[in-house]
């Protein structure tokens, strides 16, 4: 029983529930705790201390104790706090969801030593009304015009620019122009460059857009205009400029005809009917995925509505911070900086965060109550799928995921899927 020798010196004197989600523990060590822990700390200092006249580790204990009195006591206390906190939490069967705030009592050798720890906990959830959740299931329909729209987009993607015979640009023309400009105070000059621009698509500055429609191929014109305030090149934004524009030639966009030739361009050996069928399948699977998301949304809404409980604010704060971080990363991916959040944005983020927290607590509660545990077969399939995508062995993939903390996330996702499957199997579904 050597291991356990220091456990009898700790006493959880009381557990105060400050709110449904906040707890304060009052903990006390017995009078001998400090001196019992002293020897190992003093020994550490003896080994490490450089004391003139003594070889390392050879200075007398009394000298060390006198020289490092404050530090030794501080180390003992911090050790007792750390060990005591985790033991007190275990003893009281609590699971903190926030960093504990600690208040330390007086410290005197030979006297009991106490501290208080305050932290947020998971609320107790009395789970009810999670079977027979009413759901309306709408059949997934695919309209032919959706297929046509997709085909049209694909034609746009495979379009080409061909020389046009007209001499004056129209809306939708592509103009090949040679342009140079200088800023007002003669600051920057942009040397002549050739660009191909779409006319009438609001891609050009308004005056240029207006004037270019009056030009004919071969014309040159001086046009004054202002760069918009949100122009990506900062040293130009909001500045007035004089543009020297020459219209070199006009092109038109030509879309490929809808036939088997077009289908082959999209996919080797395909014909138009096969492409249409593939489009239908894609639309169907994306609509089915959307319907599944909507059903899950409805299940969660119902659970939240019918199970009221208080949520630890630190939980919601943590989730909000995570959402903001994702938003920032999203902006960064697009090469932009996220605009400052307005109060209403913050409020919306907090509401979303609270919903996510409630949802995950309730789903976890359903799993506990119904003894739903992670299906290893599903985990294996998911890891196999990822391995295939990465072109790695299963072992390599598992290592990679574990190293990035991704494995727990994947396990969480799968368990969540299982809980939703259970809720759906119990739901009252009306078509």
Separation CA 122–CA 142 (nearest Å)? 45
CB-CB neighbours of 250 under 10 Å = 21
For 34-82, give the DSSP string: HHHHHHHHHHHHHHH---TTS-TT-S-HHHHHHHTHHHHHHHHHHHHHH
What angle do helix axes 272-306 and 144-157 make, rounded to 10 degrees?
120
pLDDT number for residue 87: 87
Mean pLDDT by 10 residues, the chain (431 residues): 51 84 88 82 84 82 84 87 86 83 82 86 86 90 91 89 86 87 75 85 82 86 86 81 88 86 80 87 93 94 92 88 93 87 92 94 92 94 92 88 84 94 93 79
Kindly list the domain boundaries of the chain, sorted by start residue. Answer: 2-120, 160-254, 267-430
> In terms of CATH architecture, what is 2-120?
2-Layer Sandwich (3.30)
Separation CA 259–CA 263 (nearest Å)? 6
Question: Is 2-120's fold the same as 267-430's?
Answer: no
pLDDT number for residue 427: 92
Separation CA 218–CA 211 (nearest Å)? 14
Separation CA 205–CA 217 (nearest Å)? 20
Backbone angles phi, psi at 325, to 5 degrees: -60, -40
Say if pTM beats, i.e. exceeds, 0.85.
no
pLDDT number for residue 186: 66
pLDDT number for residue 85: 86
User: CATH says 160-254 is which class?
Assistant: alpha beta
For 133-181, give the DSSP string: -EEE-PPP---HHHHHHHHHHHHHHT-EEEE-S-SS--TT-EEEEEEEE
34: its two tokens:
């400090």
| Cβ-proximal residues to 128 (8 Å cutoff; 6+ apart), any chain | 306, 307
Separation CA 159–CA 257 (nearest Å)? 10
pLDDT number for residue 1: 36
183: its two tokens:
């800023």
Counting Cα atoms < 13 Å in the Cβ hemisphere of 212 gives 34
Q: How are beta strands 428-430 and 134-136 bridged, if at all?
A: parallel
The three-state secondary structure class of 201 is coil
CB-CB neighbours of 277 under 10 Å = 13
Counting Cα atoms < 13 Å in the Cβ hemisphere of 397 gives 17
Angle at 2 between CA 58 and CA 39, to 5 degrees: 25
What is the chain's length? 431
- Sole residue written with tokens 């799968």: 414
37: its two tokens:
């822990």
The CATH code of the domain at 267-430 is: 1.10.3120.10
Which helix (H) or strand (E) segment holds residue 206: the answer is helix 206-212
251: its two tokens:
């092109």
278: its two tokens:
């593939």
87: its two tokens:
């033991």
Dihedral angle of Cα 303, 305, 309, 313, to the nearest 10 degrees: 100
Backbone angles phi, psi at 396, to 5 degrees: -55, -45
């Amino acid at each position: 029983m050597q291991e356990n020798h220091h456990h009898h010196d700790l006493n959880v004197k009381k557990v105060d529930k400050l709110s449904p989600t906040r707890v304060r523990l009052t903990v006390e060590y017995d009078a001998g705790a400090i001196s019992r822990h002293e020897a190992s700390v003093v020994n550490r200092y003896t080994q490490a201390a450089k004391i003139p006249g003594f070889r390392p580790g050879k200075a007398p204990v009394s000298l060390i104790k006198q020289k490092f009195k404050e530090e030794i006591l501080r180390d003992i206390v911090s050790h007792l706090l750390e060990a005591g906190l985790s033991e007190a939490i275990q003893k009281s069967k609590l699971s903190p969801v926030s960093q504990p705030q600690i208040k330390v009592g007086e410290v005197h050798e030979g006297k009991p030593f106490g501290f208080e720890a305050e932290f947020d906990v998971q609320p107790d959830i009395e789970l009810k009304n999670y079977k027979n959740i009413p759901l309306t299931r709408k059949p997934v329909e695919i309209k032919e015009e959706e297929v046509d729209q997709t085909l049209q987009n694909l034609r746009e993607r495979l379009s080409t620019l061909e020389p046009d015979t007209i001499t004056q640009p129209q809306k939708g023309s592509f103009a090949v122009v040679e342009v140079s400009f200088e800023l007002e105070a003669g600051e920057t000059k942009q040397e002549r460059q050739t660009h191909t621009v779409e006319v009438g698509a609001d891609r050009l500055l308004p005056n240029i857009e207006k004037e270019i429609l009056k030009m004919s191929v071969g014309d040159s014109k001086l046009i004054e205009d202002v760069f918009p305030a949100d122009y990506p090149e900062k040293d130009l934004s909001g500045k007035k400029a004089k543009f020297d524009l020459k219209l070199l030639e006009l092109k038109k966009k030509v879309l490929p005809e809808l036939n088997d030739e077009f289908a082959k361009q999209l996919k080797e050996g395909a014909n138009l009917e096969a492409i249409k069928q593939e489009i239908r399948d894609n639309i169907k699977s994306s609509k089915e995925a959307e319907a599944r998301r909507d059903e899950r949304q409805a299940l969660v809404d119902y659970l939240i509505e019918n199970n009221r409980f208080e949520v630890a604010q630190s939980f919601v704060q943590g989730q909000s911070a995570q959402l903001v971080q994702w938003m920032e990363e999203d902006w960064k991916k697009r090469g932009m900086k996220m605009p400052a959040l307005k109060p209403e944005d913050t409020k919306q983020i907090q509401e979303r965060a609270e919903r996510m927290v409630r949802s995950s607590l309730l789903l976890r509660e359903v799993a506990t109550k119904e003894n739903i545990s992670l299906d290893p077969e599903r985990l294996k399939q998911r890891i196999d799928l990822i391995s295939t995508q990465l072109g790695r062995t299963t072992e390599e993939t598992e290592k990679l995921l574990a190293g990035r903390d991704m494995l727990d996330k994947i396990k969480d996702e799968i368990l969540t899927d299982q809980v939703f499957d259970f809720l759906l199997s119990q739901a009252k579904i009306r078509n």
